[in-house]
Amino acid sequence: MGRYSTFKKGGVHPADKKELAKNSAIEVLPLPSELIVSMSQHLGAPAQCLKKKGDTVEKGEKIGEASSFISADVHSPVSGVVSEVRKVRLASGAVADAVVIKPNEIQPEMFQQKYNWMEQEKDELLSLVKAMGIVGMGGATFPTNVKLNIPTGKSVDALVINGVECEPYLTADYRVMMERAEGVLEGIMVLNKILSPKKIIIGIESNKMDAVKHLEDLIKSKNYNINVMPLKMKYPQGDEKQLLKATINREVPSGKLPIDIGAVVCNLGTAYAIYEAAVFHKPLIERVITVSGEAITTPKNILAPIGTKASDLISYCGGYNTQEIGELVSGGPMMGFAFSDEDTPMIKGSSGLLALLPVKLDTGVCVSCGKCVQHCPMGLMPNKMFRNIKFKNYQVAMDLGLMDCKECGCCAYICPAHLPLVQGFKLGKKLGRKK
């Protein structure tokens, strides 16, 4: 193995578990009997619901309208009838309005016509990204049109495409790279027209060298000015701050954004969604999701409509192979959300659905071993922050850099006492903001 770039500070790399689903080509989920489409599938204010019980909806129709600058439109993934509008609890624990849709048996063939996006101005493309409800699909779900709207006086030196997928189990982005690379690259060219960056880099960890070669060969054949950069396997390299350090060797200062150092980071799956938006005027109404974990009978990568229930995804993978389920996780095991209700719907940022076996961890006490400090990629002192939060000294924890914590879970993963560090930091941020 060659010498690959990475970020220098902290980090861990748990067993990646990608072999469970890595070789599973993308399969299209048969149409479920109902879909639960949340109005809160993005960072920021929930969309305002535009439908009521009994309304008919068409595939791709806007059913939720962005309600603020940081918000995103929501579209119907199918043609059908609204059977209910109700509150739903998402995997994150948030409660939001949702439109429950009963799909028609026969779905129309849509989004076949191609449009020449190269004839459009960058502002028109930016408006199209907004109208199609595109958000970050790596999990953060930040509205993409907001990220791409570069403030006056700033410019983009580097566009970095995040193909790292460093979370264990997840292989959705890998399969998109292998099976839909042409669309990914065209989506990057759309981004190129919007942002006019001086250079474009795709960062991919070295456990996916076949994807690196596949993209490099395609880039060469199309004569695109894109550099594919293999990176050392290290978690949380998929975080934009660590990715920028690994790819362009720049650090985002505390409280600042990537654009403050002349960079924009875009998830690879998001680039593909931008391709579909620009070429077919297709809203973000479906995505590839990895369904995996030791408790799943046949792990798969599935193209499913937004709003699909966890139970339908699990059933399509043959159900559980054991009666003892540890927990269900939306996303990856490090930063994902544990939940228990199988009717929980997937959203635009749902990159994975995991069913894990039970693990018994006895919580001890902090012995100040310093491992959490050593492995924190942000250079923080998790032990001291956690201790102050425990004793309700929230401002002290904030002064120690609590708001810079990315909640990546490196500290909790490495902690020999198995302390609930990330949960503590989430609570500390919430209560610290109120002071």
Annotated binding site for [4Fe-4S] cluster: 366, 369, 372, 376, 405, 408, 411, 415
Burial label for 96, CB within 10 Å (0-12, 13-18, 19+), is middle
Residues whose CB is less than 8 angstroms from the CB of residue 241 and which lie 6 or more positions away in sequence, other chains included:
251, 252, 258, 377, 378, 406
User: Which candidate, 399, 401, 403, 391, places its Cα nearest to that of 430?
Assistant: 403
Residues whose CB is less than 8 angstroms from the CB of residue 181 and which lie 6 or more positions away in sequence, other chains included:
214, 215, 218
User: Which candidate, 247, 358, 278, places its Cα nearest to that of 111?
Assistant: 278
User: Which candidate, 155, 172, 154, places its Cα nearest to that of 163?
Assistant: 172
Task: Specify which residues 158 forms β-bridges with.
Answer: 199, 263
Annotated binding site: 366, 369, 372, 376, 405, 408, 411, 415
> Is residue 299 within 8 Å of 319, Cβ to Cβ?
no
Residues whose CB is less than 8 angstroms from the CB of residue 35 and which lie 6 or more positions away in sequence, other chains included:
77, 78, 80, 100, 101, 103, 305, 306, 307, 308, 309, 345
Task: Specify which residues 356 forms β-bridges with.
Answer: 327
- Torsion angle of alpha carbons 382, 384, 390, 392, nearest 10°? -120
